[in-house]
Amino acid sequence: MKNIIKIALRNLLRQTRRTLLTSSLIAVGVAMVIFFGGIGNSFKNEMIGILTNSNLGDIQIHKKGYISSIDNLPLDITISENDLKNLKKRVKPVPVLLKE
């Protein structure tokens, strides 16, 4: 095992230009994967935010368990009639601030 490591280090030091080029390309590739992954995630979050806010406004009221399963597209999670009436009673007395 010692001999293999010694031969590998000697080969890396003998071919310095190729070693530097390969290691720099690996570093640039990893940086690009991280960079474009971040751009993709932020683009996805921004699109979800735009669509959600344009349809629902700034206040969002969800049934318990909706947010935790939002990635699974919960099409059957809705607010029942009794809960909706209770919600309207609670929200109606809240004053509305209009932006002009």
Collapsing DSSP to helix, strand or coil, 61 comes out as: coil
DSSP state of 35: H
Predicted local confidence at residue 86, as pLDDT: 84
- pLDDT, tens digit (0-9, with 9 covering 90-100), for 32-48: 999 999 999 999 988 88
Tokens of 6: 């010694």
- Cβ pair 27, 35 in contact under 8 A: no
- Domain ranges for the chain, please list them: 28-60, 61-93
- pLDDT, tens digit (0-9, with 9 covering 90-100), for 19-34: 999 999 999 999 999 9
- Cβ pair 67, 75 in contact under 8 A: no
pTM: 0.47
